[in-house]
A and B are shown apart, each in its own frame.
Chain A
Amino acid sequence: QVQLQESGPGLMRPSETLSLTCAVSGFSFSSGYFWGWIRQPPGKGLEWIGNIYHNGNTYYNPSLKSRVTISLDTSKNQFSLKLSSVTAADTALYYCARQWGGSYGWFDPWGQGTLVTVSS
């Protein structure tokens, strides 16, 4: 059974770079597949951040593209998100998910999420 677990700093200061990791268990990265990051500000809806495909291709939300980098570490069975120059608007619950069903696929399963708060 595939399981995903996010980890991150919890609390950050404005202008810092957010780094999150999603550890994947029960599944081998060598099998391919696509992976994604989604966030949810407190009390608000879901916002897609970006995807990374097994060949390393990445796709990002245009509104975040200049600040986002998603990468794979197949040796550790994990993928990562970096978001630079964070502000209070980046305060959110950050989820990682596997994209199933190919390039037109859907997100399943999801991690439990990790809360990131940006505050001075």
Chain B
Amino acid sequence: DIQMTQSPSSLSASVGDKVTITCRASQSISSYLNWYQQKAGKAPKLLIYTASSLQSGVPSRFSGSGSGTDFTLTISSLQPEDFATYYCQQSYSNTRTFGQGTTVEIK
């Protein structure tokens, strides 16, 4: 199995801050990395697919980068509605795996 490791597991930030979340794969997954946002009591929502493509309707303050084993999700200016848990997921292998999640909390 391909293991996905996110860091940090949680972070505290203020509105307007730039936030960076990292996801590392246990082997190369090319650019087959996706990011999801999950708010409390809600289903996950796709933000970024194939490492850097912004899903339609997602604000441009969200961006993704990386390839191979190391990936990053960046929120350029954190907004109140962005406080949530973020998950990466690899789609390189037929057996999919998610990262353990990163919770972004209000500072």
Contacts from A to B (Cβ < 8 Å): 36, 38, 45-48, 51, 59-62, 95, 99, 101, 103-113
Decide yes or no: A106 and B95 within 8 Å by CB, A95-B43, A111-B43 being known contacts: no
Stretch at the interface among B16-24, B69-77, B84-92: B84-92
Q: Secondary structure of the B side of the interface?
A: loop
Which residues between 32 and 87 of chain B lie within 8 Å of chain A, taking CB atoms?
32, 34, 36, 38, 43-46, 49-50, 55, 87
Number of A-B contacts (CB under 8 A): 63
Decide yes or no: A112 and B34 within 8 Å by CB, A45-B100, A46-B87, A62-B1 being known contacts: no
A104 touches B92 (CB 8 A): yes
Contacts of B32 in A (CB 8 A): 104
Instruction: Report the separation of the CA atoms of residues A103 and B93 in the bound assembly, to the nearest whole angstrom.
Output: 9
- How many residues of chain B have a CB within 8 Å of chain A? 24
Least CB distance, A2 to chain B, in whole angstroms: 12
Decide yes or no: A101 and B43 within 8 Å by CB, A46-B87, A48-B95, A60-B95 being known contacts: no
B97 touches A48 (CB 8 A): yes
Contact of B34 among A61, A95, A106, A110 (CB under 8 A): A106
A108 touches B97 (CB 8 A): no
A110 touches B1 (CB 8 A): no
Instruction: Report the separation of the CA atoms of residues A107 and B43 in the bound assembly, to the nearest whole angstrom.
Output: 11
Instruction: Report the separation of the CA atoms of residues A109 and B92 in the bound assembly, to the nearest whole angstrom.
Output: 19
Least CB distance, B43 to chain A, in whole angstroms: 4
Instruction: Report the separation of the CA atoms of residues A9 and B94 in the bound assembly, to the nearest whole angstrom.
Output: 29
A45 touches B46 (CB 8 A): no
A59 touches B34 (CB 8 A): no
Least CB distance, B68 to chain A, in whole angstroms: 15
- Looking across the interface, which residue of chain B has its beta carbon closest to that of A99? B91
Contacts of A60 in B (CB 8 A): 95
B46 touches A107 (CB 8 A): yes
Least CB distance, B15 to chain A, in whole angstroms: 26
Instruction: Report the separation of the CA atoms of residues A105 and B97 in the bound assembly, to the nearest whole angstrom.
Output: 13
Contacts of B100 in A (CB 8 A): 45
